[in-house]
Structure 1
Amino acid sequence: MDLFDCIVIGSGHAGSCAALSAVEHGCQRVLIIDKCPEEWVGGNGYFTAGAHRTVHGGLYDLLSIVKNRPSPEVLERIDMTPYTRENFASDIMRLGDGKSDPALVDALVDNSRDAVDWLAKYVGTPFTFSFNRQAYEVNGRQKFWGGMVLSVEDGGKGLIAAHQRALEKAGVMVWFDSPALSLVTKGDSVSGVVVRKDGQEVELGARAVILAAGGFEASAELRERHLGAGWKLARVRGTPYNTGDGFALAKAVGAKFTGDWGGCHSTCWDASAAADAGERDLTNQFTKSGYPLGIMVNANGLRFVDEGEDYRNYTYAKFGRAILHQPGGFAFQIWDSKVIRHLRKEEYGDGITEKIFADSLSELADKLAGHGLGQKSTFLETLDHFNAAVRHHRDEYPGLQWDPAVKDGFSTQSSVTKLALPKSNWALTLDTPPYMAVKVACGVTFTFGGLSIDARSAAVLSESGREIGGLFCTGEMVGGLFYNNYPGGSGLTAGAVFGRKAGRAAAQTIR
């Protein structure tokens, strides 16, 4: 029987971080196994924009780790507010309705800055300032917003490519087309993995096993069971191989389950995208995150969310879910010519999505009818009421300035008119043709329910609350961190933080 110091189940960002950390701390024989074929390496991390949320002290704190360091002249025109420990922890707890495990939150937040530094210097992750996603040019200045400033060159593709180079350099073996069938136990501890390799069941010994196999979002059956009715209709944003296998392995050895099993990370997703998997060429480009600059209406012509409730980083996960529960499971995002130039080209460019243009709102309604809009009159009435409410607010507060980089207070609520469903920020009239609309659906990224772990070591806990010897967990399989919603960019950072902890603890089991 082959014996390894550490076996990691899952080849994504979190699993790669765990394997590299295990080597860094002394493991000699480290193996990653994954049921996907090699061309699907990287799990969901491959389909991201590479965004990492971290505590930082502002612009000059992060200059040493970014590849796109601006020139001195550009630096003088950048506004980047420090993102404190309190900011990060508060955002997670606020969006999770106070339900997140404080120990996990503290571990993520307090190790976030060190984790991105490690990714840059040890892994070789090509971090960049996210000008295209997290900054708007306002009055000649680049203004970052929403607390998150780091992405990766070439997005998730660049992130996973960096991991692949680092794994090869570290001597980590990777087996694809090799699903884990069961965990081997000795007493109360895990001592190996049974894997199907080249059609044969093979038992591998391991002093430590790290679970990094993702959630269950790619299983329509499990989505329906845990998330609720209608979730079969959600479109899978990333890998089709995250079908809950890791949870079955953990359940068989008595692991404790925890967290929000009815919640998930979702987003506004292109309605024409495939249902069962992401597209490896376009990856995150099917995301449609421009709704704060316009409005969204459902098939009945009604708005259904406050598009300006908060920064996009803090609303897209729950607004994706809101779209799923609209008639037909879709919606339309709508803008006029005043803001179209602010939409991200990687999401709304030619050849990326079908854009519906019109020179009048009535013409737009006629065109949207061919895409599922069922109530033209209601649609036009919604827009009339919205525009009137914005104008009344503008008249009442003439000193306000529209600014997409701050919560500007440009709303629909005034002493004259208060919409039942407000738009709280960035509310502009839709009255300047041409108008543009895009049809969107719900894209599901990862699920929130998972395993209970020790926040210090990432060790998996049993149903009795004790550590299961030799078994650790990271990535989307960790439960108790996110509830209902989450701050954008936290997932990749969490994968790195707990992956490093798991790898370090795995090495300590050998010593």
Structure 2
Amino acid sequence: MSLPSQVDILVIGSGHAGFSAAISAAQSSPSSRIILIDKCPESWSGGNSYFTAGAMRTAHTGLNDLLPLVNNVDQNLAKTTDLPPYRTTDFEKDIQRICAGRSDPQLSKILIGDSREAIQWLKDVVGVRFQLSFNRQAFLVDGRHKFWGGLALKTEDGGKGLIEDHKRAAQQYGVDTFYQTAAKELHTNPQTGAITGVTVIHNGQPKEIRAKAVILAAGGFESNARMRTQYLGPGWDLAYVRGTPFNTGDCLEMAIRDVAAKQAGNWSGCHATCWDANADPNTGNREISNEFTKSGYPLGVMINTKGERFVDEGIDFRNYTYAIFGRAILQQPEGTAFQVWDSNMISWLRSEEYRDGIVKKIYGNTIEELAEKCTAEGLKNKDQFVKTLKEYNHAVYEHRKENPRAKWDPAIKDGVSTESSSTKLALPKSNWALPIDKGPFLAVKVTGGITFTFGGLAVNPETAAVVSSASSAEIPGLYSVGEMLGGLFYGNYPGGSGLTSGAVFGRRAGKAAAASISRGQSRL
């Protein structure tokens, strides 16, 4: 199939948000010619969405509300599952708390209000296969599967399965997809300022595609070392890239340069998680994918190369800390750290993140032996490493003495901590603090893996239409979704809300683009 020179709607980016926008547009306007392009080869389709665990945060009324969506729960399993409601008010509190009250109120209101309907749309229209995330979002406690942290849904086979479902639906709805096609320049009508087309490089050759509407869904700049250092700060050029190497910010810079698109959001902020220090620093692995994530730190402690703890591993549920702890690791000497557990916790680690053959495991029968082995992997002060763990253990036991009825429970904020009237660590562990004193001991070396950046373009929250910095008016025919949409997340984000945003605003942008074409045709 040859690349067309004229289309109705052109979507740039083959991730979850881009496919959501294209399918929504095709559903809204079946007679329109809609194409989706991406600069990557087809073997890299899916953008960062491909590398996710497929978790999506949505407001819901409890287990019975979500059961019709999923394919992995029978009646017996449902009877042993505790999944409390996560209402819009809970979602609102979380996004305001986690983003320090700086999330754009209109954007967050729409994200939250549309979340459940968007999930239903993904299932019914796109054919996304949802499951309850027992493997990542629930613990088996006293014979019951207890969900925690407001996050329950995931896609079957994670991001890989999500992109497979999108590709299938796009084909069904007549959306043609072209890879190795990079957007280079936006064209506008000189009188109206409306988008008229895009110059692309297709298979190495420049070509202009005329379009009545363009939807930008090409991701942030997380794979661009220059832009990371420019916007995130010194040292960020050394961050490991968790996902696609093709999200280099080209379309952000193109929109700002060509149509004076208004910038919005937290340009110095990003999602950076705990990542395997032995992974490729420049790109995610399409086969191993999200297995390089290392999110078992609430079950143990993290210690830097100087032998010191540097975060409160139990300050909140993992869903609310994993996107910022990667940054914390990168701020440590050498930008690395060690996650540490004793034999009591090793069996609780998720196999998809810590299975043999993927992660390099460091074992020691004693804390001293573990410290010695960690020196071969970059630990600089083994004596401090041992001292840190012994002081931590002492604080845990002192808390136990004062709170003999306290019960460790990884599915709630259990208050099992290092704080007591006799002992207070300079850096506490606020929840899930168990002693690390029973061998064998395990350590895994981690670094910070950047997932996506928070800075993007300002949009009309109702339609995701891009706003001009020159006029503060919408740029006719131009929309921005996914990681390119700015203003939603600041400093941190509630886990799973990124994919939900892609569906919510991708769906809205597709509808709006189709409606704008219909209005234009009705005026002819």
Bin for the TM-score computed over the shorter chain = over 0.9
Question: Which of 23, 48, 53 does residue 49 from structure 1 map onto?
Answer: 53
Whole-angstrom CA distance in 1 between matches of 2:203 and 2:78: 54
The equivalent residue for 1:429 is: 435
Tell me the amino acid that sits aligned with residue 290 of structure 2: N
Tell me the amino acid that sits aligned with residue 37 of structure 2: I
1:64 equivalent to 2:68? Answer yes
Q: What is the TM-score normalised by the length of structure 1? A: 0.99
Native 8 Å contact 1:324 1:441 kept in 2? yes
CA deviation digits over 1:29-77, x for unaligned, max 9?
Answer: 0010110001000000000000000001111101111111x22222111
The equivalent residue for 1:215 is: 220
The equivalent residue for 1:204 is: 209
The equivalent residue for 2:8 is: 5
* 1:175-190 alignment, distance < 5 Å: 175-186=178-189, 187-190=192-195
1:139 equivalent to 2:142? Answer yes
Tell me the amino acid that sits aligned with residue 31 of structure 1: I
**Residue 4 of structure 1, CA deviation:** 1.1
**Residue 93 of structure 1, CA deviation:** 1.1
**Residue 350 of structure 1, CA deviation:** 0.6
SS in 1 for 2:395: helix
1:106 equivalent to 2:112? Answer no
**Residue 369 of structure 1, CA deviation:** 0.7
**Residue 218 of structure 1, CA deviation:** 0.1
**Residue 3 of structure 1, CA deviation:** 2.0
Whole-angstrom CA distance in 2 between matches of 1:229 and 1:308: 28
Native 8 Å contact 1:7 1:208 kept in 2? yes
Whole-angstrom CA distance in 1 between matches of 2:41 and 2:270: 26
* 1:365-444 alignment, distance < 5 Å: 365-444=371-450
The equivalent residue for 1:282 is: 288
Tell me the amino acid that sits aligned with residue 486 of structure 1: Y
Whole-angstrom CA distance in 1 between matches of 2:392 and 2:188: 62
SS in 1 for 2:459: coil
**Residue 254 of structure 1, CA deviation:** 1.0
Tell me the amino acid that sits aligned with residue 14 of structure 2: S
1:174 equivalent to 2:181? Answer no
Whole-angstrom CA distance in 1 between matches of 2:202 and 2:401: 70
1:23 equivalent to 2:26? Answer yes
Tell me the amino acid that sits aligned with residue 348 of structure 1: Y
**Residue 239 of structure 1, CA deviation:** 0.5
The equivalent residue for 1:124 is: 127
The unaligned stretches of length 5 or more in structure 1 are none
CA deviation digits over 1:300-325, x for unaligned, max 9?
Answer: 00000000000000001111000001
Tell me the amino acid that sits aligned with residue 56 of structure 1: H
SS in 2 for 1:437: strand
Q: What is the TM-score normalised by the length of structure 2? A: 0.97
Question: Which of 261, 265, 272 does residue 278 from structure 2 map onto?
Answer: 272
SS in 1 for 2:443: strand
1:468 equivalent to 2:475? Answer yes
The equivalent residue for 1:93 is: 96
**Residue 412 of structure 1, CA deviation:** 0.3
SS in 2 for 1:285: helix
Tell me the amino acid that sits aligned with residue 390 of structure 2: D
SS in 2 for 1:193: strand
* 1:154-165 alignment, distance < 5 Å: 154-165=157-168
Whole-angstrom CA distance in 2 between matches of 1:232 and 1:280: 22
**Residue 90 of structure 1, CA deviation:** 1.3
**Residue 462 of structure 1, CA deviation:** 0.6
The equivalent residue for 2:521 is: none
Native 8 Å contact 1:402 1:426 kept in 2? yes
**Residue 198 of structure 1, CA deviation:** 2.9
SS in 2 for 1:339: helix
Tell me the amino acid that sits aligned with residue 238 of structure 2: L
SS in 1 for 2:340: strand
Native 8 Å contact 1:346 1:352 kept in 2? no
Whole-angstrom CA distance in 1 between matches of 2:188 and 2:472: 18
Tell me the amino acid that sits aligned with residue 504 of structure 1: K
The unaligned stretches of length 5 or more in structure 2 are 519-524
SS in 2 for 1:46: helix
Native 8 Å contact 1:95 1:314 kept in 2? yes
Whole-angstrom CA distance in 2 between matches of 1:213 and 1:71: 39
The equivalent residue for 2:326 is: 320
Backbone CA RMSD of aligned residues: 0.8
**Residue 377 of structure 1, CA deviation:** 1.1
Whole-angstrom CA distance in 2 between matches of 1:493 and 1:137: 27
Structure 1 stretches of 4+ moved >6 Å:
none
Tell me the amino acid that sits aligned with residue 272 of structure 2: S
**Residue 200 of structure 1, CA deviation:** 2.2
Native 8 Å contact 1:96 1:486 kept in 2? yes
Whole-angstrom CA distance in 2 between matches of 1:160 and 1:339: 34
The equivalent residue for 1:310 is: 316
SS in 2 for 1:302: coil
Whole-angstrom CA distance in 1 between matches of 2:480 and 2:74: 41
Tell me the amino acid that sits aligned with residue 130 of structure 1: S
Whole-angstrom CA distance in 2 between matches of 1:44 and 1:460: 22
The equivalent residue for 1:480 is: 487
Whole-angstrom CA distance in 2 between matches of 1:197 and 1:129: 40
**Residue 394 of structure 1, CA deviation:** 0.6
Whole-angstrom CA distance in 2 between matches of 1:5 and 1:189: 14
**Residue 352 of structure 1, CA deviation:** 1.2
**Residue 482 of structure 1, CA deviation:** 0.1
Question: Which of 128, 131, 153 does residue 156 from structure 2 map onto?
Answer: 153
Whole-angstrom CA distance in 2 between matches of 1:2 and 1:38: 21
SS in 2 for 1:392: helix
**Residue 5 of structure 1, CA deviation:** 1.2
Native 8 Å contact 1:299 1:331 kept in 2? yes
SS in 1 for 2:54: coil
Native 8 Å contact 1:460 1:471 kept in 2? yes
CA deviation digits over 1:332-377, x for unaligned, max 9?
Answer: 0000011111100000001110011111000001000111111111
1:299 equivalent to 2:305? Answer yes
SS in 2 for 1:499: helix
SS in 1 for 2:145: strand
The equivalent residue for 1:499 is: 506
The equivalent residue for 2:230 is: 225
Whole-angstrom CA distance in 2 between matches of 1:178 and 1:348: 37
